[in-house]
Every structure is written in C-alpha cells, then in structure tokens.
Amino acid sequence: MTIIKPLGYIGKQEITATADRLLAQIEASAIPPKWPQVADRAADFLQLDIQWERFDPVRDGVVAAKIYPDTKEIYLNEAFPLIVDSSGFYQSTLAHEIGYWLLHVDSDNVDIPATESDRERVFLCRNLDEQIIKVRHEKTPEEWREWQAQYFASCLLMPVNQLEEVRQGRNLTNWQHLKAIADELGVTISNLCNRLQDLEYIQKTSNSNRLYPGKKMRCP
C-alpha cells in the first residue's frame, strides 16, 4: 500500500475547492488565516513540520523544497537564493508543498510504514519561471503534479474573496498598485499577475509589460 496517490486529472475547479476548504477550516479554528503569512498558518494547521537544510545539488538537483510524506516534513533549501531573499517566493514554495500534501498524498495511509520507494520519493518544487500557470497537454506526469501543486498555491495565497478585498480602490493595470497588493498578500508580483490573468482580471501581451483590463474588470 502506498501513501502516494496515483496520478489523475485534477482540474482547476477541484483544486480551487480544496484550497477554499482548507482556508475555511483554518478560519473556523482558534487561529484564523492571516495574510501575508497564510502558507505558514496552513502548514501549522495541517501539522506539517518545516525544516531548513542546505540541499546537495548533486543529490537533489537545483530545487527550492521537497516534502517527505511519510514523516510530514517539508524541507526548504537554505542554499536557494530566492526562497531566502523573497518572502513571496517562500510563501509560494511552502504553499506548493502543501498542495502536494493535499492533492497527491493519501493521508489515511501516512501512519502505515512506508515502502522503500515511498521513502525515496520526494516532491520537488522547481524554479521554472515561478511555475507559470499554463495548461499544456504535452506535460509529463511529474509536470502535471507540479502544475496542480502550483495552481493550488495560487488559490491558497490569492483566493478570489481576498483579491476582491485588496483590489478595492486600486487599479489592476497599474504596476505600483499591483506591487502594493503583492506585498499585502505576501506573493511575488509575477505570481500575482499570473493569478489575475488566469481569473481574467487583467490581460498582458507576451512582448510587452503593458497591462489591460480583463473580462472580469470590464463587466458592469
């Protein structure tokens, strides 16, 4: 029996519902979620232990984090510059690993002694242009897991109700306003823009930094 779920299709609606359900559970607890440290609060709520370690690039590759499901431990790479220097990238990385835990780990089997293959299996959070949220049908199984975990991270860190709250009185096509929102939510500006584009709040051409209102902003 394995603690890793077989890879299956998990769409945006289901991933969003998983993140929203976790936020609702935390909200009902003694310590509700708080931005910009919502990923830390989620890890505490799920009793996932956070450790820092200098990864061996030969053994682990160039990665920011990994999770050991059988011990409920998330290890963050203290030698990975972005995760140390950017609080937004740290939150995204931690939320990404939480996504692995909720979407890909069979938590009912965590207490069952892990097989050797499970002990060796870790999930890696790679710095691939901050895991831009794009659905490409040619993805490998590992890339699909990466996409699912990172989409979960965006839903956890930037739920629609929170975006609606922080965007009040701000212009989403103004970079300075976006920077202020990103700081308030504890995310990177690129992750915020990807999320806003995915939700159709804004549009951005690939060869320009100019932003345009999306369908949601144009609706009365």
pLDDT in tens, 49-64: 999 999 988 887 788 9
Answering whether pTM is above 0.85, one says: yes
For residue 204, give both structure tokens.
Answer: 């951005």
Q: Residue 63's pLDDT is what? A: 86
Q: What is the pLDDT of residue 121?
A: 54
Q: Give the fold, CATH level 3, of 158-220.
A: Arc Repressor Mutant, subunit A (1.10.10)
Model pLDDT, residue 4? 76
The domains of the chain are located at: 1-156, 158-220
Quick check: 198 and 147 in contact, CB under 8 A?
no
Q: What is the pLDDT of residues 148-172, one digit of tens each?
A: 999 999 999 999 999 999 999 999 9
> If we measure between CA atoms, which residue out of 103, 108, 16, 121 comes closest to residue 67?
121
3-state secondary structure at position 4: strand
Which stretches of the chain are assigned E, i.e. beta strand? 49-53, 63-68, 73-77, 123-126, 202-204, 211-213
Residues of the chain with pLDDT under 50: 1, 118-120, 127-133, 135-136, 220
For residue 131, the model assigns a pLDDT of: 44
pLDDT of residue 106: 78
> Alpha-carbon distance 31 to 99, whole Å?
20
Please give the C-alpha separations between residue 101 and each of 21, 69, 105, 163, 197, in angstroms, as whole numbers.
14, 7, 5, 25, 26
Q: How far apart are CA 156 and CA 168, in angstroms?
A: 20
pLDDT attached to residue 122: 59
